């Protein structure tokens, strides 16, 4: 798993939302890998990659909210520095609204709310 990139982790995490593929040990390892990649790669990820990971992690809310917040922090940093094309902004906002916002009774992390407010309609 140490060779997995962020989007590889997202695909595996998404697959584990199906009970047939769920393995707690592997899932925990994937979360550790995502945490490591996010902490060591600030500024290296495009919004589309981060949207893919947001979606995968949102399938396991509220257990992944710490990582959702970390991705939100990356998106805030991107928004502060880079010009982001409209399609990427729409993809991120749609993912936040459509995937991350569907966990009843659990608020979105502040960083994701900030990104949605900044890039949303």
Q: Is 26 exposed, middle or buried (0-12, 13-18, 19+ CB in 10 A)?
A: middle
Judged against a pLDDT cut of 90, whether residue 12 lies above it is answered with yes
- CB-based contacts of 77, cutoff 8 Å, min separation 6: 42, 43
Residues 76-98: pLDDT tens digits? 888 877 778 888 888 888 888 87
Judged against a pLDDT cut of 60, whether residue 43 lies above it is answered with no
Judged against a pLDDT cut of 60, whether residue 42 lies above it is answered with no
Measure the CA–CA gap between 12 and 22, rounded to whole angstroms: 10
Where residue 121 falls among pLDDT bands split at 50, 70, 90? confident
Q: What is the pTM of this model?
A: 0.81
């Amino acid at each position: 798993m140490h060779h997995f990139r962020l989007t590889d982790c997202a695909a595996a995490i998404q697959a584990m939302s199906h009970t047939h593929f769920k393995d707690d040990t592997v899932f925990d390892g994937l979360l550790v890998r995502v945490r490591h990649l996010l902490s060591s790669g600030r500024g290296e990820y495009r919004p589309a990659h981060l949207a893919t990971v947001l979606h995968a992690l949102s399938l396991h809310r509220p257990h992944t909210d710490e990582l959702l917040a970390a991705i939100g922090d990356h998106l805030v940093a991107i928004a502060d520095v880079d010009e982001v094309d409209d399609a990427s902004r729409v993809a991120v906002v749609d993912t936040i609204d459509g995937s991350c916002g569907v966990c009843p009774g659990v608020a979105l992390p502040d960083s994701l709310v900030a990104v949605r407010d900044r890039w949303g309609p």
